[in-house]
Amino acid sequence: MINKDITVVNKLGLHARAAAKLVALASNFASEITLQKGGRKINGKSIMGVMMLAASQHTVVNIEINGEDEQQAMIEIENLFKNLFDEDE
């Protein structure tokens, strides 16, 4: 199991479209993926869960991945955050 703090850098935060991209990516992996912010812990493969995290710009989300492909999953998820979910800002 690995976990890492990742900062939300895109301007709009984890809104519906960004959440959709995260969930689509997370669903490609066999590992269990959970996101935690404050007291709330959610399944990274559930779009509603991700939206309900209410992660706005500059908040830090702890990502925990557990499973055979956890390393690759972490790299790709981190890249998605870093690339602002392919948004313009």
Catalytic residue among 3, 9, 15, 76: 15
Is there binding between residue 56 and other proteins (CB under 8 A)? yes
Among residues 6, 35, 47, 77, the one that binds other proteins under rule CB under 8 A: 47
Tell me how far the alpha carbon of residue 77 is from its chain's centroid: 6
State the binding string over 9-28 for other proteins (x if CB under 8 A, else -): x-xxxxxxx-xxx-xx----
Edge-to-edge order in the sheet of strand 32-37: 2-7, 60-66, 32-37, 40-43
By annotation, the residues acting in catalysis are 15
Q: Which residues of the shown chain bind other proteins in the complex (CB under 8 A)?
A: 9, 11-17, 19-21, 23-24, 46-49, 51-52, 54-58, 82, 84, 87-89
